[in-house]
Amino acid sequence: MPGCLAGPGGTEAQQTTLYPLVGRVFVHTLEPTSFLHLPEHAAPATVPVTYHAHLQGHPDLPRWLRYTQRSPHHPGFLYGAATPEDRGRQVIEVTAYNRDSFDTARQSLVLLIRDPEGSPLPYQTEFLVRSHDVEEVLPPTPASHFLTALAGLWEPGELKLLNITSALDRGGRVPLPIGGQKEGVYIKVGSASPFSTCLKMVASPDSHARCARGQPPLLSCYDTLAPHFRIDWCNVSLVDTSVPEPADEVPTPGDGILEHDPFFCPPTEATARDFLADALVTLLVPLLVALLLALLLAYIMCCRREGRLKRDLATSDIQMVHHCTIHENTEELRQMAASREVPRPLSTLPMFNVRTGERMPPRVDSAQVPLILDQH
């Protein structure tokens, strides 16, 4: 350890130096034993520990680095492939949390990113492994087994892991909770040896056409990756960086003047136009229409009104006499009813209880008041 730093809560933050390579997969395992002081009788797998990693001075990891952990009882992984723009020194701060004792510890990972040594790897292939999750191929043993099995499909030469990406990060969906269903992982491999005939046939247009029709692709060799690694051969891509891509033609800048075209004769001058008439038509026509509608509505509401006098004149004399007689008789009956003295209705009198002697005013809702009181 090059040194230690003071961590939160009085703990010491360890500092570790790592050397990722540009264009090569980088995997660092986060184990509880490297962070927390666990009891002697406690197994690391039984202690729930989670981690939080971020770039020093930033809230998240750099764009080329990812973090994953299946559960608090599994180790965590920092993995990714650095790009040429990431060369230099980067410090990753990792904080571990013990979910049982609530202890915390911090560790600083100093990443010195540099270019790889040796010959370049121009022949690169990416495979989609359906039978594994990303956490299952990050340890060294499964990755080594994958390269050993892939050597049977490649021309003799050394194979290198270039990148490992979860299928969920590439637009995949979380599978149903059924036994044997995995998320899938993309594994990118490079080599200085050219592709074999078998790999070229798998990535041929004929093979892609068969995949589009739902048929198995063309595989002229024995699948040495089966049964431990189930490869989706319809998603195999080959990249040959040894052949330079044709450079895009750069347009030659001109002087900005269009060439003479005998079929196009632009006007030399614009004719003066007077827009007063257009403005008057646009404004006056709607106003005139609105005025005519207002006058029509006023005529209908005022001039076509029947009126009481006209209605009475249109009514026959017998009907008018009959109406006036009914109106006068009604008024006379109302006056006689107001002047005569008659006993008040029982519903308007106060109620008297002969047993208790209590008087109660009549209720507003007379339908709920009984007219005959119980004498018992």
pLDDT of residue 58: 93
- Give dist(CA 17, CA 90) in Å, integer: 10
* Residues linked to residue 25 through DSSP beta bridges, in sequence order: 81
Look at residues 154, 140, 347, 137 and name the one whose alpha carbon lies nearest to residue 228.
Answer: 137
pLDDT of residue 101: 85
Answer for the pair 94, 52: CB distance below 8 angstroms, yes or no: yes
pLDDT of residue 217: 86
Q: What is the DSSP letter of 269?
A: S
- Give dist(CA 254, CA 177) in Å, integer: 63
Dihedral class, residue 293 (left if φ above 0, else alpha if ψ from -120 to 50, else beta): alpha
Look at residues 300, 294, 189, 306 and name the one whose alpha carbon lies nearest to residue 236.
Answer: 189
pLDDT tens digit sequence for 142-184: 999 999 999 888 888 889 999 999 999 988 888 877 777 889 9
Tallying the residues shown for the chain, one arrives at: 376
Measure the CA dihedral 179/180/185/189, to 10°. Answer: 160
Query: 345 preceded by cis ω (within 30°)?
Result: no
Positions of the chain with pLDDT lower than 50, given as ranges? 1-11, 364, 366, 369, 373-376
pLDDT tens digit sequence for 296-346: 998 888 877 766 777 777 788 888 888 888 988 888 888 887 776 666 665
- Give dist(CA 143, CA 145) in Å, integer: 5
Dihedral class, residue 367 (left if φ above 0, else alpha if ψ from -120 to 50, else beta): alpha
Look at residues 67, 54, 60 and name the one whose alpha carbon lies nearest to residue 94.
Answer: 54
pLDDT of residue 348: 60
- Give dist(CA 197, CA 115) in Å, integer: 31
Answer for the pair 80, 67: CB distance below 8 angstroms, yes or no: no
Inter-residue long-range contacts of 225-229, CB under 8 Å, 24+ positions, other chains counted: 225/146, 225/149, 225/150, 225/153, 228/131, 228/145, 228/149, 229/129, 229/131, 229/132, 229/146, 229/149
| Domains of the chain (ranges, CATH numbers) | 1-115 (2.60.40.10), 118-243 (3.30.70)
Rg (CA), the chain: 48
